[in-house]
Amino acid sequence: MTSISDHPAAHRGPRLRRRDVGDQLFRTVVTAFAALPPLIIVGLTLLLVVDSWPALSHSGLSFVTTTAWDPVHLEFGAAHYVFGTLMTSAVGLVLGAPVAIGAALFLAEYAPKWLREPVAYMVEMLAVIPSIIYGLWGFFVLAPLMRTYVEPFLKDYLGPIPVVGALFTGPAIGRDMLTAGVILAIMILPTIAAISREIIAAVPDQQREGMIGLGATKWETIAGAVLPYARGGIIGGVMLGLGRAFGETMAVTMVIGNASKAISPSLFNPGYTMASAIANQFNEADSEVYFSAVVAVGLVLLVVSGVVNGAARLLVWRVAKGPQGLRI
Amino acid sequence: MGEETGALPAAQPAPLPLRRFTRGAAGGPQTRRLLIDRATTVGVVLCTAAAVFVLSAILLHVLANGAGALNLAFFTERPLPIGEVGGGVAPALLGTLMMVGVAALMGVPTGIGTAVYLSEYGRGRFATLVRFTIDLIAGVPSIVVGVFVWAVLVRSVVGHFNGLAGSVALAIIMVPIVTRTVEEVLRLVPDTLREASLGLGIPRWKTILAIVVPTAKSGVITGTVLSMARAGGETAPLLLTALGNQFFNFDLLQPTASLPVQIYNYAVAPYDDWHTKAWGAAFVLIVVIGLLSFITRRVTGGSLRG
C-alpha cells in the first residue's frame, strides 16, 4: 500500500478519498469466501437429488416403504436401513440423554469450583475421540461384554415382561442394534452435556433465588425453577445429539452386525443403519441404478438429519435470544 | 420413596447433616423432601462418574493394547501381506498428513475468510444465510459429505478413488469448525481497537488484517488446529473417497492410505497381528489428537468444541 498522498484518490480534488480500493477488494474477497458455505450446501443437495433420481424414479415410494434391497434384481427398498437408524438412535437417546443432562446438572449446579473445569474437560474429551476408536473399542471390548453379561441378563429379567420383552428376544450375539445404541449413547453424551450445561448456566439467578427463598431444597430449585426455564435449550441439545447419532457411521458399522433383511422389534438382531449401509455398499455399486440407490440412501439421511438439526438450532437459538452474533 | 418416611419416625431427631436444612422440623414430609434431594444429588454424581468412567475405560484400553504394537518399523515401514511378520503403517501416517495438510490449505482460508466476513461485515439477510448454512454443514453427516465427493470427484472427474477427493471431503468438514471458532474470537476484539485504527486514517481492510486478526491470533490458531485434529480422525468420508493404499504414495490423484481407514481395515480382518496393529494405530491417533486438543486448550483457554 502506498501512502495517502500518492494514493490516486488523494489527487482527485479537495475532498479526502472516500473509498479505498483495498477496502473494496478485501470486502469482495471475504464475501466470496462467505458465499462458499451456501454454495456447498446447495451443490451437495442438488447433486444428491440428481444422482439419486434414477433409483428414486425406478423404485418410487417403495424406496422408503419396502425392505427388498436386492441389487442383483435391481430392487431397492431401504425401509430397514431407515428403521435401523431410528431404532439405534432411539436407544442411544434413551440411554445417553438422561446421563448427559445429569452430568450437565452436576457441572453447572453441584460441582465445587475446583472440580468443575477438569471434569467438564473430561466430558468434552469424549467428543474429541474419533469415531473409529469408538468402533474399535466397541468391536473388541463392548460387544463381547454385551454378549456375555448384559444381554443374557436383560433377556432373563426383561424378556418375560409383555410389551417391553419383545425388545429383548432372540440369541445374544453382541454385535447388534442394542450395542450400536449403547455406543451412540456414549458418543452423543458430550454434545448434549455441553449444550445443556451452557443453557443451565445461563438461567438467571433470580430464578434460583426465588425458589430458595421459599425454602426449596436444591433439587426442588432445579426441578421447579431451573429446568423449566432451560427446557427449550436442553431439548435443542438433545436433538443435536440425535442428529449426531443419525449420521454416525464407523462406530455403528463396526458393532451393528450389518446383516438384516427385515424389520423386527428385537434389539438383539443385527441390522443396518443408513450410514452403515452406505459404508458397506459404496464399493459394490457396479451398475448405475445401484450407485444411484446408494446415493439415494445418503439423500434420505441428509434430509432426516437436516430436519432434526435445523429444528434443534432453532430451539437453541430461541433460548439464547435470537441468532447470536447479529452485530448492531 | 414412601417407605423412607417410615424408616425415620417423626419423633426421632434427624441425623445432624439433614437437620442443617430442616430448621428443626424433622417431620415426615420434610424428611422425604430431603431424601429426594439427596437421591438426586447422588444421581447427578453417578451420571458424571459414568461419563468419566467410560472415557477412562476407552483411553486405558487403547493405551494398554496399543503400546505393545509400537516399534520403529511401525512408523517407518509399509503394511506387509498376511503371514509376514513385521511391517508398519507408515503409508497411512504419510497419507493422513498429506490429506489433512491439503484439506487445511482449502478449508482454513475459507473458514477464516467466512469468519472475517461474518464478524466485520456480517449484517442482513446474506449473513444470516451464511450463518445458517455453516450450522447446516456442521450437521451434515460426514458420510454424506463422503457420498457427495465420491459422486463428483471419484466417479465423475477423476474416475477412481483418490487422495485429493479425500482432502476435499475433509476440507468441507473443517470449514464450519474454523468459521465458528474464529468468528467467536474476532467478536471478542474490542471495538475501541478498530476505532483507534480507523481514526488514524488506516483503511478498514488494513485495520482488519493488521489489528483485528492478529489480536485474535490465539483463536485463529485454535480453530485451525482443532479442525485439523477433527479431520485427522475422520474415517467414513475417506473410506468413500481416498479408499486406502498398502504402498507409499505421494500422488494425491491415486488412492491414498489414512490412519483411521487403516485401523478399520485391520480391525475387521480376522488376524491377531492386524488387531494389535489396529490398537497401535489407534494409540498414535488418540495421542496426537489428544495432545493437539490439550495444548490448544492450555494455550488459549478455549473450548474443545468447534
**In the 8-state DSSP scheme, what is residue B24?**
T
Instruction: Give the domain CATH number at B253.
Output: 1.10.3720.10
Task: Looking at the structure, tell me whether residues B160 and B117 fall in a common domain.
Answer: yes
Residue B9 lies in a domain: yes
> Of A92, A95, A66, which is closest to residue A79 (Cα–Cα)?
A66
A255's enclosing H/E stretch is helix A250-255
pLDDT at A298 over 80: yes
CB atoms within 10 A of CB B64: 11
In angstroms, how far is the first alpha carbon of chain B from the final one? Answer: 43
Mean pLDDT, residues A173-192 taken together: 95
Task: Looking at the structure, tell me whether residues B40 and B94 fall in a common domain.
Answer: no
Is the four-CA dihedral B200, B206, B211, B212 of positive or negative sign?
Answer: positive
Contacts of A259 (CB under 8 A, 6+ apart): A270, A271, A272
Residue B22 is part of which domain span?
A: 2-51
Mean of pLDDT over chain B? 88
Contacts of B9 (CB under 8 A, 6+ apart): none
> How many Å lie between the alpha carbon of A97 and the closest alpha carbon of chain B?
10
Residue B33 lies in a domain: yes
Beta bridge partners of A70: A75
pLDDT at residue B134, rounded to an integer = 94
pLDDT at residue A197, rounded to an integer = 93
Give the residue from B47, B125, B157 with the most A CB atoms within 10 Å of its CB, the best one to mutate. Answer: B47
Of A217, A243, A291, the CB nearest to B139: A243
Q: Look at chain B and report how many structural domains it folds into.
A: 2
Nearest chain A alpha carbon to B268: A254
Q: Is B133 on the interface with A (CB under 8 A)?
A: yes
pLDDT at B206 over 80: yes
pLDDT at residue B237, rounded to an integer = 95
Nearest chain A alpha carbon to B144: A298
pLDDT at residue A327, rounded to an integer = 30
Contacts of B17 (CB under 8 A, 6+ apart): none
Helix (H, G, I), strand (E, B) or coil at A22: helix
Task: Looking at the structure, tell me whether residues B16 and B108 fall in a common domain.
Answer: no
What's the pLDDT tens digit per position in A12-49? 544 555 567 889 999 999 999 999 999 999 999 999 99
What's the pLDDT tens digit per position in B44-74? 999 999 999 999 999 999 999 999 889 999 9
pLDDT at residue B8, rounded to an integer = 45
So what's the ipTM on this one?
0.88
> How many Å lie between the alpha carbon of B77 and the closest alpha carbon of chain A?
22
Phi, psi of A75 (to 5 degrees): -110, 125
List of domains in chain A: 62-319 (1.10.3720.10)
Asked if A41 and B133 come within 8 Å (Cβ–Cβ), the reply is yes
> Of B251, B249, B277, B273, which is closest to residue B263 (Cα–Cα)?
B277
Residue B64 lies in a domain: no
Cβ(A59)–Cβ(B160) below 8 Å = no
Q: How far apart are CA B235 and CA B256, in angstroms?
A: 13
- Name all contacts of B194-202 with Cβ < 8 Å and 24+ positions apart: B201/A4
Task: Looking at the structure, tell me whether residues B32 and B102 fall in a common domain.
Answer: no
Residue B58 lies in a domain: no
Q: Is B9 on the interface with A (CB under 8 A)?
A: no
Contacts of B195 (CB under 8 A, 6+ apart): none
pLDDT at B304 over 70: no
Task: Looking at the structure, tell me whether residues B29 and B126 fall in a common domain.
Answer: no
Task: Looking at the structure, tell me whether residues B77 and B113 fall in a common domain.
Answer: yes
Nearest chain B alpha carbon to A127: B305
DSSP string, B27-75: -HHHHHHHHHHHHHHHHHHHHHHHHHHHHHHHHHHHHHHHHTT-SHHHH
Distances (CA, A) of A266 to A96, A269, A276, B178: 20, 6, 19, 42
Beta bridge partners of A76: A69
Question: What confidence tier does A1 reach under pLDDT thresholds 50, 70, 90?
Answer: very low
| A to B CB pairs, distance under 8 Å | 292
Task: Looking at the structure, tell me whether residues B232 and B289 fall in a common domain.
Answer: yes
Q: Which of residues 242-261 of B touch A (CB under 8 A)?
A: 243, 260
Beta bridge partners of A75: A70
> Of A81, A77, A85, which is closest to residue A61 (Cα–Cα)?
A77
Q: How far apart are CA B25 and CA B14, in angstroms?
A: 9
Task: Looking at the structure, tell me whether residues B32 and B76 fall in a common domain.
Answer: no
Give the residue from A141, A249, A255, A317 with the most B CB atoms within 10 Å of its CB, the best one to mutate. Answer: A249
Question: What confidence tier does A326 reach under pLDDT thresholds 50, 70, 90?
Answer: very low
A76's enclosing H/E stretch is strand A75-76
Of B55, B122, B208, the CB nearest to A126: B55
Residue B212 lies in a domain: yes
> Of A210, A211, A218, A215, which is closest to residue B39 (Cα–Cα)?
A218
Predicted TM-score of the model (pTM): 0.89
Task: Looking at the structure, tell me whether residues B190 and B255 fall in a common domain.
Answer: yes
Extract the C-alpha cell encoding A183: 455406543
Residue B67 lies in a domain: no
Task: Looking at the structure, tell me whether residues B114 and B14 fall in a common domain.
Answer: no
Task: Looking at the structure, tell me whether residues B97 and B40 fall in a common domain.
Answer: no
Q: How far apart are CA A196 and CA A238, in angstroms?
A: 8
CB atoms within 10 A of CB A320: 15
Q: Position A81: which residue type?
A: Y
pLDDT at residue A18, rounded to an integer = 59
> How many Å lie between the alpha carbon of A153 and the closest alpha carbon of chain B?
20
Question: What confidence tier does B306 reach under pLDDT thresholds 50, 70, 90?
Answer: very low
Phi, psi of A257 (to 5 degrees): 95, -25
What's the pLDDT tens digit per position in A232-260? 889 999 999 999 999 999 999 999 988 87
Task: Looking at the structure, tell me whether residues B47 and B76 fall in a common domain.
Answer: no
Residue B59 lies in a domain: no
What's the pLDDT tens digit per position in B240-290? 999 888 889 899 999 999 999 999 999 999 999 899 999 999 999 999 998
Of A4, A135, A327, the CB nearest to B201: A4
Residue B306 lies in a domain: no
Contacts of A20 in chain B (CB under 8 A): 203-205
Question: What confidence tier does B300 reach under pLDDT thresholds 50, 70, 90?
Answer: low
Contacts of B32 in chain A (CB under 8 A): none
What's the pLDDT tens digit per position in B281-293? 999 999 999 898 8
Extract the C-alpha cell encoding B161: 478413488
